[in-house]
Structure 1
């Protein structure tokens, strides 16, 4: 057994964290769009009839539909669908703001992903959305003191989606997790609102520190595929990180970085790169 003791990390210094603070979303309106799209599809795609009837057309709300969809994905011998559905539904009933975050995630995907033309698609098919939604359930359980059950959901989500998000991490609303495979988020990481993240991104720690040891990602940030951000570094509002980069130091707001280790290569052309999804580095703005 190793004899070294964990060293204490830096004390929490993050102020004014913006988690789900943007304008409210019309949850009922999002649900209506989903139902209307399902009604149109079921007439033409008879192979999807059972799925659409079970998840959408026989349900009365977005929260009910989500509990069904996640239960179909996450159920197994340890916890059956019949056990999962009321558990997930109860979580959303206990925390109504959770379903608002879900609806904002759906709207973010529709608004930023040109391959998506309806909130029905991520609800049914996109594992990035499923993974973030499962995290939202586990985070609620973690905050409620039900840590073992929260970690159970983390474990199952890692197996099913290939995404590993610690339930203690703090993640805002309007998140687009595109493709999602191999996305990893550590225990003390913070992701603010309206962030877009591609596959194989890691928000990790370094060494054996305890305490606040994972990254802080401010609103509007775009993280390209394969980005690794390690340690208690802060990515400022509207920053952009090029694909494959390794970030070990703070990134100033509205700054573009790339490379291993990442260096400043320009200034973000957009106020919120996450919303535009433009992954050009724009070196013309180099400082």
Structure 2
């Protein structure tokens, strides 16, 4: 690439990450070895991401290099996974007021990391490597406290805030630009088979502890209040609260996922 050629957005993102890493080392020298191993020792974002995630997923039987080879394969054969990871980091950076760098999300936030591990499991599931996909799912649950079936479909710009206790069933669909808080269940209503899990449309925010059960749709730009139990379709651009959940108003913005405003009394 010539010196005057424009950088691909992945390259631009990677340059920003390296600058943030160098700043951390200047401010906190005790983290120098850690930051170098996670970021500065690598030649691009996907190499750093596979290093970080494979070291999280390893166990006494499945060694880090074996898992890293699978991540590297997925990123090479399906570059959209890498693009989605960048969108997920940017989503957290934009939505979480406690976050002041992309690097923080990448190396510290288990919600982000668990989604990226799921993206690998889904990659394997689509290629009928189901046993390995289920192993990755199991490790994801053990390491991060997040249980996502490998078949579940995720869009881009998905944020798991805090993440602990999130459960996502097999036929769930989570579209682009969705925010989900801790202890949320996207599950079925029993032991039925087939398409039996929720469809979460763009712009939705699901509050902590909410349970959304069955093959139902949460309409675009809607908000599900904390602790609610949703058992039927939710129209677009409404706020639902309660057990069972009922419409109580309309969100104050088009995409509640972006503002993360959980005060449903203002809707």
Shorter-chain TM-score: which interval? Answer: over 0.9
In structure 1, the residue matched to 2:42 is 59
Is residue 44 of structure 1 aligned with residue 21 of structure 2? no
1: CA distance, partners of 2:131 / 2:156 = 25
Distance, in Å, in 1 between the alignment partners of 2:164 and 2:155 is 20
Is 1:175 the counterpart of 2:158? The answer is: yes
Q: Which one of 245, 254, 260 corresponds to residue 237 of structure 2?
A: 254
1:188-227 per-residue CA deviation (whole Å, 9 max, x = no partner) reads: 0000000001000000001111000000000000000000
TM-fit CA distance, 1:43: 2.0
Q: Tell me the residue number matched to 2:80.
A: 97
Instruction: Output the CA distance in 1 between the equivalents of 2:207 and 2:13.
Output: 28
List gaps (5 residues or longer) in structure 1.
Answer: 1-24
Alignment of 1:207 onto 2:190 = yes
1:197 alignment partner, SS class: strand
Q: How far off is 1:268 after superposition? A: 1.5
* 1:132-184 Cα shifts (integer Å, max 9, x gaps): 00000110000011111011000000000000000100110001110000000
Paired residues in the alignment total 260
Q: Which residue of 2 aligns with 1:13?
A: none
Equivalent position of 1:224 in the other structure: 207
Equivalent-residue separation in structure 1 for 2:259 and 2:210 (angstroms)? 18
TM-score by length of 1: 0.89
2:103 corresponds to 1:113:
no
Query: Which among 170, 185, 194 is matched to residue 177 of structure 2?
Result: 194
Question: What do you get for the CA RMSD once the two structures are aligned?
Answer: 1.1
Q: Report which stretch shifted further, 88-97 or 125-134.
A: 88-97
The aligned counterpart of 2:148 is: 165
* Alignment correspondent of 1:235: 218
Partner of 1:106, secondary structure, is helix
The structure 1 residue matched to 2:168, chosen from 185, 192, 214, is 185
User: 1:83-138 deviations in whole A, cap 9, x for unaligned?
Assistant: 22222111111101110000000000000000111110011000000100000011
Greater than 3 Å deviation, 4+ residue runs: none
Alpha-carbon distance in 1 for matches of 2:167, 2:60? 26
Alignment deviations for residues 217-254 of structure 1 (CA, whole Å, 9 cap, x no partner): 00000000000000011000000011000000110000
Per-residue deviation at 1:279? Answer: 1.2
For 1:68 and 1:33, the matched residues in 2 are separated by 18
Q: Report the CA distance between 1:46 and its aligned residue.
A: 2.0
CA contact (8 A) 1:154 1:166 kept: yes
1:282 shift after superposition: 4.1
**Aligned partners of 1:256 and 1:265: how far apart in 2?**
6
Bigger relative CO (Cα 8 Å, ≥ 6 apart): 1
Counterpart CA distance in 1 for 2:256 and 2:159 is 12
